[in-house]
Amino acid sequence: MAEAQVAAEKSGGMDYPEHEKTYRRFITFSKWSVIHIVVILALMAMFLL
């Protein structure tokens, strides 16, 4: 258990700039996905009802 902690400390931990870039891309993808779904639902409501 202690050996794993020492190994993690020696490796330098996470690559935070890369982590933040990935998180930003995930948030952007999620935002645009929700926007597209809302537009599709609005168009379906207009044309199918």
State which amino acid sits at residue 28: T
State which amino acid sits at residue 22: T
State which amino acid sits at residue 10: K
**What is the tens place of the pLDDT at every residue in 1-43?**
556 665 555 566 778 999 999 999 999 999 999 999 999 999 9
42 to each of 33, 34, 38, how far by Cα in Å? 14, 12, 6
pLDDT at 6: 56
What is the value of pTM for the model shown? 0.65
Alpha-carbon distance of 20 to 17, in angstroms, equals: 5
Sign of the Cα torsion 13, 15, 19, 20 reads positive
